[in-house]
């Protein structure tokens, strides 16, 4: 009988410990994410107002590093290419002020040939889905200086659709994959057109802000851990009292 009673208290104690470790781990992870997000937002703000880099050759591209130059302004010197692919954008990336019917669409991606002939992927901006089959205004012809924001895109996620190069449709801004489609050797970074405009494609779509809810998530996980300890403690106190009463103590 004593063994049965011991097991009745042992398993809840083990489960409480396991759940407590999980909750504390999740809380600590959110604290780490909070520090990372705050540092990222601070760097984005700092770089947004930094003097732009001049990119005109493969040597300039080779000097770029994600840790130092992601979200950095730049002036690209060269010309637009004629190749075009479209990247499907999630709804939260849409430009502000659009109607519901225009809340999803595509970004127009084109190569930009620098002065030495090397190429860099450029995102010209957003086009609503309803306008995808309507020819967009061509980019400026000849030599130009393009105001842009340097970006290193995220990798393919588990829920991203497979690209459809035959239809010039991509679901991930992957310069290497898009470069292979164009038979171009593109570097891993790309450049978002930084000039705002009211025509399509609509530029200046780089997001310099993002949700930062990690503090409330951390408080939630740590709060659940505290509740778990209190509930488990009350249960064990009640169990011990009931055991003592049944033993006649």
| Nearest residue to 209 (alpha-carbon basis) of 5, 29, 44 | 44
Burial class of residue 67 (count of CB atoms within 10 Å of its CB; 0-12, 13-18, 19+): exposed
DSSP 164: B
Q: Which of 15-19, 30-34, 100-104, 149-153 has the lowest mean pLDDT?
A: 100-104
Whole-number pLDDT of residue 204: 85
At 219, give phi and psi (nearest 5°).
Answer: -60, -40
Whole-number pLDDT of residue 91: 54
With tokens 């898009």, the residue in question is: 178
3-class SS of residue 177: helix
Whole-number pLDDT of residue 132: 76
Angle at 218 between CA 36 and CA 155, to 5 degrees: 40
* Whole-number average pLDDT of the chain: 86
Q: Which of 20-34, 44-58, 84-98, 157-171 has the lowest mean pLDDT?
A: 84-98
The CA radius of gyration of the chain, in Å to the nearest whole number, is: 27
Whole-number pLDDT of residue 102: 73
Provide the token pair at 148. Answer: 């842009």
The stretch 98-126 carries a mean pLDDT of: 89
Residue 195: C-alpha distances to residues 52, 167, 204, 222 (Å): 14, 28, 5, 44
Whole-number pLDDT of residue 5: 54
* Strand (E) or helix (H) holding 17: helix 2-48
Whole-number pLDDT of residue 74: 97
């Amino acid at each position: 009988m004593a063994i049965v009673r011991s097991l009745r208290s042992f398993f809840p104690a083990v489960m409480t410990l396991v759940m407590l470790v999980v909750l504390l781990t999740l809380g600590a992870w959110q604290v780490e994410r909070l520090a990372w997000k705050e540092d990222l937002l601070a760097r984005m703000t700092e770089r947004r107002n930094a003097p732009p880099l001049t990119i005109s050759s493969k040597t300039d591209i080779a000097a770029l590093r994600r840790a130092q130059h992601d979200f950095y302004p730049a002036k690209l010197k060269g010309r637009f290419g004629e190749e075009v692919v479209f990247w499907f954008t999630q709804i939260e990336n849409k430009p502000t002020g659009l109607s519901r019917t225009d809340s999803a669409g595509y970004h127009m991606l084109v190569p930009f040939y620098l002065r030495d002939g090397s190429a860099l992927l450029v995102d010209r901006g957003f086009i609503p889905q309803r306008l995808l089959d309507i020819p967009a205004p061509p980019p400026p012809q000849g030599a130009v200086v393009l105001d842009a924001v340097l970006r290193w895109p995220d990798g393919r996620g588990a829920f991203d659709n497979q690209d459809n190069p035959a239809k010039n449709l991509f679901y991930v801004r992957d310069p290497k994959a898009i470069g292979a489609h164009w038979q171009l050797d593109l570097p891993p970074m790309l450049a978002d057109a930084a000039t705002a405009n009211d025509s399509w494609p609509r530029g200046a779509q780089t997001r310099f802000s993002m949700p930062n809810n990690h503090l409330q998530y951390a408080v939630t996980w740590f709060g659940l851990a505290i509740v778990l300890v209190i509930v488990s403690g009350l249960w064990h106190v009640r169990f011990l009292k009931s055991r003592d009463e049944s033993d006649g103590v």
